Amino acid sequence: MQNITEDKFVEDINRNNGIIHKICNIYFHDADDRKDARQEVLYQLWRSYPSYKGGAKFSTWMYKVALNTAITYSKKGNREFTADLHTGHWDQVADTNDQQHINERMELLYAAINTLTLTDKAITLLYLESNSYDEIAEITGLTTTNVSVRLVRIKRALKEKLKNII
């Protein structure tokens, strides 16, 4: 019986592996911290797997466990990354169709996201993954109204941080 559970767990994780990758990239800048956090997330998912009853989509449950683990893990080691958004050489790029420019803009967006609080990072990540407000509320434990209000504030804050850069 244990082997069936283990096989199902591995299958479910492999199908949704991008979730772990995205969360670790948002919460941890250092490659070693990302690797350690990934292991911690996988461990917590395995420990929590028996509690998954199938009431919500597996990906929703996985987001909830992975985000809670990443937030807790980042607090333990004070590993949170804050980037400097005032890098002047970004202003010199002229061709907006250039892939390098797009990549640089994405780096700036992620740097701006990294300046958010741990909960706001989670909300932003879930929003960027096209989760509904209800799904974000379910994953984060917030109300749908609170998610809506926070997203308005997050968008405003990100726009302000990026207005002179992008």
Model pLDDT for residues 82-103, shown as the tens digit of each residue: 333 333 333 333 333 455 656 6
With b for 16 or more beta-carbon neighbours within 10 A and e for fewer, the 40-78 pattern comes to bbbebbeebbeebeeeeebbbbbbbbbbbbbbebbeeee
Domains in the chain with CATH codes: 1-81 (1.10.1740.10), 82-166 (1.10.10)
Task: Determine the pLDDT at residue 116.
Answer: 92
Model pLDDT for residues 38-58, shown as the tens digit of each residue: 999 999 999 999 988 888 889
Model pLDDT for residues 112-164, shown as the tens digit of each residue: 888 999 999 999 999 988 889 999 999 999 999 999 999 999 999 999 888 87
Q: How far apart are CA 67 and CA 86, in angstroms?
A: 28
More confident of the two residues 85 and 77: 77
Q: Which of 9-23, 79-93, 97-111 has the lowest mean pLDDT?
A: 79-93
Residues 6+ apart with CB under 8 A from 145: none
Q: How far apart are CA 147 and CA 122, in angstroms?
A: 11
Does the pTM of the predicted model rise above 0.75?
A: no
The answer to whether the CB of 27 falls within 8 A of the CB of 6 is no
